[in-house]
Chain A
């Protein structure tokens, strides 16, 4: 074992003493660090627009609506908007649905309106009382009574039990996240009960379960749906009614997984050169006349490539975390990833989840690095190995997609390109229908075996 690690140490020294690799490391570090800064800048501009919206919502002026209603002689609308104006009910106020129900402006998805249907007395007086007295407890109790045995009541009960008053202004910076999440729970549960098809039902149930988990476990920030891959896959973050998503360190930290593909490029450069450069420098003969078998030397080289890859990934993780904290502060460190699918709630800490994402995307990097390594061993030319490696990494997936879309070639599903991006396959976003993680892993294992055997054959049995 010691002998093997001496070989690995040699490889590390050879790589790290090269100025080009040092440059690569610095590049990765700068890139990982810069991501959060870039995110901060983008959000700064977003924030500008948001501030205006917030401003407008808080002191909302219904004069325009009132004028329109007058013009159109819409008495109902006129009364409604005047009521809102008089009671200073901005559009994000919890009282607004009540007012809608009072004036018959709500729809059948609106809990306040639906609850009103079950009330025998005068709904106007009842709701007006809740509004005038800000009697949210009374309102919640009324809702609980009206929904009967439905699961929906759990949400109101939670808010009552924890004495969480609803927001007069949901867009305020100090708005309690639990109100928004409880709303998500009640609305989705309600919709699940109403939904016609099973798929829709399940989706709503899942979202409600996620919200319930967050409330029960006090998870203020849920980073599900915030990573780049998930955004691209169109997987929305769970719908949260009311409130504005807070900008936290997680917004930048969770997008940092995209740096992994950048690391992939750099690892291909190292993998493509690690054997070929021994040939081009003429040092191969001096390497091979030592009392170490070629198999061991080859394995040490491969081990070096892969471990450097993972060291870079871990470095990137740490640097991204640090820079995210620097740019966005340490609040919400306890954020979690909570996602429910088919009734099963997956919940891990944000740190774990993002690390998982790093590891999942690293598989693609490892496969491509192994490919470049094999080429490097066979053709003895680093530039060819690096070129082919980068070409395969950047074009392979596209080529398979184009073949599928343009010529309806289905055979692409068996290629490594359609199967090595475990991160997206894990989310069900596959190029070909019906691809599974198990199948992808099988394809990866077969390809890796072929690459490594090729590398072995090229290195161990070659006349030097």
Chain B
């Protein structure tokens, strides 16, 4: 999808060593305005290190990072004017109220009005507690104020490191909706890092997979799903007489059938799977066999694909 889109974050040939350990090997990817980009990898793969390099928290050995076309190393202030983010835990000044915390960040960025602070508090659902001291906040509440400070100045690039940490399921859903809204309606490039594929597939348009400090690739969600499914669809059929049903279908062409655990398994090519399964159903019913259940068997989940992809990365770093 993204060829005609504007590049929000561009990382090229990023290398980083800490002591003797080579933590990042030639990381390179691009993320675009208007998409939610999942940055996926197991713990210690180098996600946070990459993000820290991108926002200038740590230096890089080699490589180039551009945010909205501005080099982080050469024009730090210009680049950072377009970035909002949470890196690791959202720690705030505990003895200040949420509003005072947000005011701190407002003063360090340009063009944030008091109304914008109210607006942002409303977006993340903090309005009624904005004048409480942050020290009293739960982790979930702190995560919200972290998001609030990140989007305060309407950045074109929003980087969130493990943002669902500490959020309850309702909070996760809310956050997901906020991020999708920002990306798809307001054209923000949202980069979310996570080690959970299940979380990513619910909100990301594309995912970049990193393991052991190297990029394994960047995929759209559709690409991920089709790579996990293959060319055929499996159905499982429960009925009153499995053997008779099998005999009934034995001579049909164009699909495979077998009995597995007292169930009939049908493996049909994707392109005409629906026609085949409806024909099979009809035959069973017309033969007066009791049809209890027809289910589509889930093949590998995205999670499994992800684990497979990253497993050959082998040893973990950090």
* Chain A contacts to B: CB under 8 angstroms: 6-7, 9-10, 13-14, 17-19, 281-283, 285-293, 461, 463-464
Contacts and interface: CB of A to CB of B under 8 A. Distances in A.
Contacts of A287: 108
A22 to B, nearest CB: 11
B255 interface: no
Given A10-B108, A290-B109, A464-B57, A283 B77 contact: no
B304 interface: no
B259 interface: no
B83 A283 contact: no
B306 to A, nearest CB: 27
A290 B88 CA distance: 16
A9 B95 contact: no
Interface in B98-114: 100, 103-105, 107-110
B104 A13 contact: yes
B59 A461 contact: yes
Given A289-B55, A292-B77, A464-B57, A281 B94 contact: yes
Contact of B52 (A14, A19, A290, A464): A464
B107 A285 contact: no
A291 B149 contact: no
Given A282-B91, A285-B87, A285-B88, A291 B57 contact: no
B58 A464 contact: yes
Contacts of A461: 59
A208 B81 CA distance: 69
Contacts of B105: 286, 290
A462 to B, nearest CB: 9
In this complex, which of A7, A282, A286 has the most chain B Cβ atoms within 10 angstroms of its Cβ? A286
A293 B56 CA distance: 10
Given A283-B93, A287-B108, A291-B81, 15 more contacts: A6-B108, A7-B108, A9-B107, A17-B96, A281-B93, A282-B91, A283-B92, A286-B92, A286-B149, A289-B80, A290-B80, A291-B109, A292-B77, A292-B108, A463-B57
Given A283-B92, A463-B59, A289 B87 contact: yes
Nearest to B92: A283
B80 A282 contact: no
Contacts, number: 77
Interface residues of B, number: 34
Given A6-B108, A281-B91, A281-B94, A288 B100 contact: no
Given A6-B107, A286-B105, A463-B59, A291 B77 contact: yes
B110 A291 contact: yes
23 contacts: A6-B108, A7-B107, A9-B107, A10-B108, A13-B96, A13-B100, A14-B96, A14-B104, A17-B93, A17-B95, A17-B96, A281-B94, A285-B87, A285-B91, A288-B55, A288-B57, A289-B57, A290-B80, A290-B108, A291-B79, A292-B80, A461-B59, A463-B57
A18 B80 CA distance: 29
Given A14-B93, A18-B95, A291-B77, A285 B108 contact: no
Contact of B83 (A6, A285, A289): A289
A439 to B, nearest CB: 40
B95 A289 contact: no
Given A283-B91, A285-B88, A291-B110, A463 B56 contact: no
Contacts of A292: 77, 80, 108
Contacts of A463: 18, 52, 57-59
Contacts of B55: 288-289
A274 to B, nearest CB: 13
Can you list the 7 inter-chain pairs with the closest CB atoms, starting with the nearest? A282-B91, A290-B108, A463-B58, A291-B80, A6-B107, A291-B81, A291-B77
